[in-house]
Homo-oligomer: A and B are copies of this chain.
Amino acid sequence: MVEQSSEEILEGADQYDVAFLVVGDPYGATTHTDLVIRAREKNIEVKAIHNASIINAVGVTGLQLYKFGQVVSLVFYEEGGWTSMENRPTSWYDKIKENRKLGLHTLCLLDIKVKEQSIENLARNRKIYEPPRYMTVSQAAKILLETEEYKKEDAYGPNTLAIGVARVGADSQKIAVGTLEKLVDVDMGPPLHSLIIIGEEKGQQLHELELEYLKHYFV
């Protein structure tokens, strides 16, 4: 939306105030940074009001934020001819591996598909959109394990501890801790979901305080 409509969003913003509401922190997406650049080119002043984001709200898991490494994004593979393992884009796999080598946790952001067109509708230029899809913790855990099974580089394994979170900050928020293998079977309810792969330090996956905090959430 933002990519195609930045001209429209900024139209008139040199004469009156235009507010642009986003989910999470306004600078969480490259397209928003781009919007700021375009506004400046038109000499339009920009004021951002920061907001909570999953990047810090993930602290709700009791894991310390300074023990997190790079954030990664997992994507649905069914579309785009990525059904076969060797063709799947898996740059996230190396990042998880790097993080875990350093004993760091990895926050995995899970795919969101909205306003997607089927190949048929796209080909016929029909503006009919598929129902939105949000990757679940269960789907993510499955993708992670399938990829490890194919790559065999020991970035993590079925027994690696991970934390599934859903609807963080909402009253219906859910947290589930377990091995990746166990999280495949967990039902976290409605979106949005995220998954945290726990880093190991000296063979230890969780510190005392973290374990104390998380013990209520084991599956």
Q: Give me the interface of A with B, judged by CB distance under 8 Å.
A: 24-28, 30, 33-34, 36-37, 40, 48-53, 55-57, 59-60, 62, 64-73, 98, 102, 104, 168-169, 209, 212-213, 216
Chain B positions within 8 Å of A37 at CB level:
209, 212-213
- Judge whether B70 and A104 touch: CB under 8 Å: yes
- Report the minimum CB–CB distance from A133 to chain B (whole Å): 22
Which of B25, B30, B50, B60 is in CB contact (< 8 Å) with A27?
B60
Tell whether A60 pairs with B72 under 8 Å between CB atoms, given A33-B209, A40-B216, A213-B36: no
Chain B positions within 8 Å of A25 at CB level:
52, 56-57, 59
Chain B positions within 8 Å of A24 at CB level:
56
- Report the minimum CB–CB distance from A186 to chain B (whole Å): 22
Which of B53, B73, B102, B168 is in CB contact (< 8 Å) with A70?
B102
Tell whether A209 pairs with B52 under 8 Å between CB atoms, given A70-B68, A70-B104: no
